[in-house]
Amino acid sequence: MNTKGFRQFQLKTMGFIAVFIGPVVLASTTLIHTLPFPSSISETATIANRTSPILPFCLGALALFALSYAITYAYDRLDRVLTFCIFAGFTIVALQMSASPYIEINNVGILGVSEAMSGILHNTGALVGFGAMSLWIMVCFTKSDKPRNAQAREKRVRNNLYFFFGLAMMLLLGVVILNFIGVIGDERPVVFVAEWVMLTFGGIACWIKGGLFLEDKVT
């Protein structure tokens, strides 16, 4: 497999992880652990209490693939910086739990901090990870060595999709921020849906860029 093939494999794998995080953690939480519908995807990451470590494992895998891409397959400096930020953000999210009604310990996460501090670190990581991912898709995926009017129709279609996915992720990230600052409460699963859609859009964009369908042939 040549360098382009490995790059596409990385992107497709990141896409599969991102797309299936939402349904996997939802099934684990509601069907296996018989807990209520979570208010956010992050709520399912409580470790060693009532829910499973599936989310930290999935996000950790996504982060590692982003790091591998940044080191080995990034096209340019911006591509490398943004994928490294995806790695850093989602690593923090995986290692430090958000505030959750299921946390029953005082030393939370790998750093052993308070629940409140863990929530701050977790939320910061989520903002960095999702923000970098949306910019990566909008900016890096749409790059071309040709001006827009000289691009093939298929490339323009792909770029429109990338821009839509990235912009939608940005808008949905705004919903998550409103939850962080208390404008949107946790009594409804608005944040869970927003996070799920962000991950799904990010995953589909990676599938397209990785050539799973609507193959992007730009080298």
- pLDDT at residue 201 in the model: 97
Q: Please, which pLDDT band fits residue 16 given cuts at 50, 70 and 90?
A: very high
Q: Please, which pLDDT band fits residue 219 given cuts at 50, 70 and 90?
A: very low
Domain boundaries, the chain: 3-209
Alpha-carbon gap, residue 78 to 59, rounded angstroms: 22
For 149-178, write each residue's pLDDT tens digit: 666 778 888 999 999 999 999 999 998 888
- pLDDT at residue 21 in the model: 93
155 token code pair: 């490339």
- pLDDT at residue 49 in the model: 55
Partners of residue 108 on adjacent β-strands: 113
Task: Determine how many CB atoms are found less than 10 A away from the CB of residue 74.
Answer: 18
Whether pLDDT at 82 is above 90: yes
- pLDDT at residue 76 in the model: 87
pTM above 0.85, yes or no: yes
Task: Determine how many CB atoms are found less than 10 A away from the CB of residue 151.
Answer: 17
13 token code pair: 């794998």
122 token code pair: 């977790």
Average per-residue pLDDT for the chain: 84
For 101-136, write each residue's pLDDT tens digit: 666 666 666 776 777 787 788 889 999 999 999 999
- Write the Ramachandran bin of 163: left for phi over 0, alpha for psi from -120 to 50, otherwise beta: alpha
Whether pLDDT at 10 is above 80: yes
Element housing 98 (H / E): none
- pLDDT at residue 205 in the model: 95
- The 8-class DSSP code of residue 44 comes to G
Give 113: exposed, middle or buried? Use CB within 10 Å, 0-12, 13-18, 19+: middle
As a whole number, mean pLDDT of residues 49-55 equals 70
Whether pLDDT at 199 is above 90: yes
- Residue with the larger pLDDT of the pair 28 and 1: 28
